[in-house]
Amino acid sequence: WRGDGGQEGIPRSSHASFSDNLLASMGASFASTLCVHPLWLLKSRLEMQTFESKSAGWVQYGGWWDCLRTIVRTEGPMSLYRGLGPALGLVPHAAVQLLAYEEIKKRDRRVEGVPLNPIKPFLWGAASKFAASCIT
């Protein structure tokens, strides 16, 4: 049989369970934090540069590449993950938001053949962010 959109083996009504969505959202939040944290560190270091910090003798970077090279060379590559603990504290927030979004989307009543109103995903996202902010 052919499922949704002509793809073989995917039933139109298949939805992941609540626990599957929870596990997937926690994993995705954790993985994205691990990938993005070094970029947050570089951004923070570059934002800290001011005239006052220069006169105080703080390291001044010539851009993101210079910042990355300097940190790795002088502090070691693992220093790119300084402050990771508090950042991982945000994982439940992102997981709740993803989970809420999927649950809201799952409960939406779609009519076959009618295109999705583009405002719906916006509203789902706003509601899921609100839920995550309230819960975490």
Per-residue pLDDT tens for 17-39? 888 888 888 899 999 999 999 99
Q: Is the pLDDT of residue 10 over 50?
A: no
Could you give the CA distance from residue 90 to residue 74 in angstroms, rounded to a whole number?
29
Dihedral sign, CA of 13, 14, 18, 23? Answer: negative
Which are the contacts of 91, defined by CB distance < 8 A and separation ≥ 6? 26, 29, 30, 33
Backbone angles phi, psi at 2, to 5 degrees: -110, 135
Distance CA 38, CA 77 (A): 10
Q: How many CB atoms lie under 10 A from the CB of residue 91?
A: 20
pLDDT at site 3: 44
67-108 pLDDT per residue, tens: 999 999 999 999 999 999 999 998 999 889 988 998 888 888
pLDDT at 109: 75
pLDDT computed for residue 35 by the predictor: 96
Q: Residue 116 pLDDT more than 80?
A: yes
Q: Which of 18, 8, 12, 5 is nearest to 95 (CA)?
A: 18
| Tokens encoding 49 | 């540069």
The position carrying tokens 């609540």 is 18
What average pLDDT does the chain have? 86
**10: amino acid identity, one letter:** I
Percentage above 90 pLDDT, the chain = 52
pTM of the entire structure?
A: 0.67
